[in-house]
Each structure stands twice: as structure tokens, then as C-alpha cells.
Copies of this chain bind each other. A is one copy, B any other.
């Protein structure tokens, strides 16, 4: 695993706050020379045999972004006073990509889905100030892709020129943490593939490398699973609100070409009421009321975890669903198991009694089965923290444990030697603070009030209070969007630019870079909007054009 200590973030403190790289590179030196792209600017490769088509596509996208972003510098005159300097600046004619390694060239798509410990994302980007060719070197095409993303953030627009005032650049970059994700819930409300693709694009622009897809839940089952098509036929909101195997294949390929692995989740044994629509025999307490006694959200319903037929059904379902995805990982969920649901289910009580076990005992057996089934097809399990902390399930040490209830729970997971992904509700939940969504709740707040600002997540230290050995178990983290009060209408605005803050925390490492964060994040918002993603304004434009002027004590 790569070093997690930020190496040269302090360098950024001394440079122009309009400097727009996000996440901040881990080693960077810049100058103060103007440089523009020549009209015939090209991105080429050298020494790469059989250039993968997804790398060629990424080059094309990078050129298109540079041509179309048309983002003026975020200063009061939007760069106008630099017109003379830009006019006489030297021109950069080319950026040349090369691989340091000499082995077989893999595609970005192949490298994006490698196991986390095998993923190589580092790169070295050199942009000389004298107009001589810029170079981008990496040990992987995935690294080249990350470097292209950085290159695309260097340029502002003025009078038809793409320019920077900060040449030369020397950047040696690689992520502090291998897992940098974003989670979307497509079960509370449905999101068309086009919305997810736009989100994947945006994720790639800030080097997020994992899409954690909470694809189904108790409210709806939009995933069409081969051999289990009745689940979506009866459990989706409607026939149009589904993800077919072809949709998934297309989405997984789209993500991988952008350096993103898709980890799907079928939450078990809770959050499965939708399965009752087609398989009532597998669900305890379906639609039981009052729902609040049987589930954290309506409708109630959990898999009959002590029923061998249900365990078998679940294993087969997960294996079939997992076959739709290329990732090495698959999430089996495991959060918010409601004890009362099983207490109220005569069948489950009879089965527990016959087996002489408890719910936790049965859950352990259930987990061994489904995780074993996934392991047999090459998939490592991902779970929510309760599986370990609340139910003491005997998990394989390869399991990725997502800590969501509180960041305070991280210590207990690493103390047991398990890998952690930071997904804490007190830091990374994008839905908090919008008020209660259950009906007849006139003055209700959201359960995880207040709103989680970008500042809260940006200030988060993923390694706080951990020993060096424990720190090695921190795999990364992510923002999450649960969609009780969200849909396509507010996807962009509730996610961006906030989700970029965790992207920097887990790429650039803890410690952050407070003085330049807000100006650079403004740049992200403005650039995202230029690219068609509706990131919100974090401040009045007056503030965005005057870095620091709206600070509390300015």
C-alpha cells in the first residue's frame, strides 16, 4: 500500500488560490510563467504498443474538455488583465504519454477493476515553461488516465486561448488510499442510466475510483438478475424503472473506461421487503405494521435467514447478480437487522428452535453461505459494520467493512483486524439535514441532522487515533446518497461539489490543505457546470472571485 502521508501539499499554500487542481497532487512544484496551448495542440503516446482504445478515448475527452470548458479564471477580472501576458506566452504543442513499465499493456478498463491492492494509479506530469513537449509518465494506463485528468484541470480560457500562468509544472502524484468511492441508492427512488453515467463522469474528474451501487432495497428491486427476473418484474416501481443486464454491462464498461470499479450491493438479510412481491416464502414480517416496530423504514420485511431454502436462494441470487459485474467485490449489506421482525415470524422462530440457535447464530451461518458462494466465483464480500460489531459474524479478514453509524466505530473494527471503508453518517451522508421525510412529521428533523457540509468531510482525518498497524487497515472512504428525498431532479445539486471533498481527503491524504480548498472547490463547481453537471454554488460569486474575502475574519 502506498504511503498515506501527504508529501508536499504545503507547496500549494504559496501558489495562487485560483490554481484549480482537485484533488491536490501529493507532490507538486509550479512556476509563474504564462503558457498557452497551441491551436494544433496534440496529445500523443510514445512507446505504447497497441494503445488501448479506452486510452485513446480518454485522450479525446481530455482534448474536448480543454476545448469546451471555456472556464475563465476565478478572479475579479476573469483573467482580462493577463491578456498581454497570454498573448505573448509560449505555446505548448504537445503532451506525450508513455509507460514506464515494459510489460503487456492493459487497458484502463482492465486496470480499473483489479483488486484494490493491485491497482496502480500514480503518474508523473511535467509541463515545461518553455513550450517544449509536456510529458506524462505512469506505470499503468490507469495512471496515465489520472494524469490526463490533472492535465485537463490546468487550463483557463481567455480570448480563445487555453492558458496557465503557473508553468512550469512538475507533479508526482499517487493516491493516499486505494478506495475513493461514491455510493448511490437507486431503490428509494429510481435513477435512469443517463443520470448514473453523468455521475460517473463527474466522479472520474476528481479521481473517485469506486461506484458503490446500492441498487436494490425494500422499496424497489430495479436490478434484472438472470434467473431471478421475477424479482424486478414484481419488485421494480415499473417496467421502465429497471436495470437490464445489458444496461449493467454498458454501465460497468462506461465506469471502467473512466477508471471506476462498480461494487454492487444487494443488502441482506434486512432491507429485502421487495423480494416478498415475488417470493413471499423467503420474507419474514412482510409489510408488517406499524412499520416502525419491524424496520427502520417502511416497508418491513427481511429474509428468513434461518431457512435453508432461503439461504440457498440468496446465495444463488447473489452469485447471479455478481456475475453481471466485473468487480472483485460484492456487497452483501447487513445493516439494520430488526430483531422484532424475526420474533414475530413463526416460521423463523420454529427454524431457530429446531436448529438450537439464535438470530445471530443463524446470521453467521447465513453469512458463511453467501460469502462462501461469492468467494467461489472470485468475489470478496463488503458488509456494513453491524455484521461485525452488532452480530459478531465470523467474517473473512479480506472482507471490507463499511462503518456508517459513527466514525467512532472505526476503532472497534480495526482492533479486530478488519479493513475499513469510511462511510460515516456523521461525516459523509449527503442526505442529512433536509428534515424528516416520514409523513405526519410536521416538525421532524432528519435523523442525522445537521447537513453535512463539504467543510465537515474535508476536515475529516481518516487515520485519527489509530496505530500505524491499524492505519494500514483503512482502505479509503466515500460520500453516500440515500435517496428518500432525492431523485434525478436533485442528484447533481445534492452530490456536487460536496462529494469532491472526500475525493481529495482520500487521494491527497489527511491533513488537507485548508487555505486553498475553498477556492479550488469553487473551480470544481464552475468547471463541473461547464461540463454539464449541476454542481451548486458554495458562496456568492462575489466571494468565488475573491479568494479569502468572505472568510469569517476577513
Q: Which residues on A are within 8 Å of B, measured CB to CB? A: 78, 187-190, 218-220, 237-238, 289-292, 297-299, 433-446, 449-456, 458-459, 483-490, 492-494, 514, 518, 529, 534-543, 545, 548-554
Specify which chain B residues have a CB less than 8 angstroms from the CB of A551 in the assembled complex: 438-441
CB contact between A439 and one of B187, B190, B443, B554 (< 8 Å): that residue: B554
Determine if A445 and B450 form an interchain contact, defined as CB atoms under 8 angstroms apart: yes
Determine if B541 and A189 form an interchain contact, defined as CB atoms under 8 angstroms apart: yes
Determine if A289 and B489 form an interchain contact, defined as CB atoms under 8 angstroms apart: no
Specify which chain B residues have a CB less than 8 angstroms from the CB of A485 in the assembled complex: 536-539
Specify which chain B residues have a CB less than 8 angstroms from the CB of A435 in the assembled complex: 433, 450-456
> Is chain A's interface secondary structure helix, strand, loop, or mixed overall?
loop
CB contact between A442 and one of B290, B456, B486, B542 (< 8 Å): that residue: B456
CB contact between A536 and one of B442, B486, B514 (< 8 Å): that residue: B486
Determine if B483 and A518 form an interchain contact, defined as CB atoms under 8 angstroms apart: no
Specify which chain B residues have a CB less than 8 angstroms from the CB of A548 in the assembled complex: 439
The residue in A458, A494, A536, A542 that gathers the most chain B C-beta atoms within 10 A of its C-beta is A542
Oligomeric state, in copies: 2
Instruction: Using A298-B542, A439-B552 as known contacts, say yes or no to A537 and B219 having CB atoms under 8 A apart.
Output: no
CB distance from A492 to the nearest CB of B (A): 7
CB contact between A490 and one of B446, B454, B490 (< 8 Å): that residue: B490
Chain B: which residue is nearest A217 at the CB level?
B540
Determine if A440 and B290 form an interchain contact, defined as CB atoms under 8 angstroms apart: no
CB distance from A78 to the nearest CB of B (A): 7
Specify which chain B residues have a CB less than 8 angstroms from the CB of A534 in the assembled complex: 488-490
Specify which chain B residues have a CB less than 8 angstroms from the CB of A237 in the assembled complex: 541-542, 545
Assembly CA distance A67 to B433 (angstroms) = 38
CB contact between A449 and one of B187, B299, B450 (< 8 Å): that residue: B450
Specify which chain B residues have a CB less than 8 angstroms from the CB of A455 in the assembled complex: 435-436, 441-444
Determine if A189 and B433 form an interchain contact, defined as CB atoms under 8 angstroms apart: no
Specify which chain B residues have a CB less than 8 angstroms from the CB of A490 in the assembled complex: 490, 493, 534, 536
Specify which chain B residues have a CB less than 8 angstroms from the CB of A290 in the assembled complex: 553-554
Specify which chain B residues have a CB less than 8 angstroms from the CB of A445 in the assembled complex: 450-451
Chain B: which residue is nearest A525 at the CB level?
B489
Specify which chain B residues have a CB less than 8 angstroms from the CB of A458 in the assembled complex: 442
Assembly CA distance A458 to B551 (angstroms) = 35
Determine if B238 and A189 form an interchain contact, defined as CB atoms under 8 angstroms apart: no
Assembly CA distance A25 to B9 (angstroms) = 61
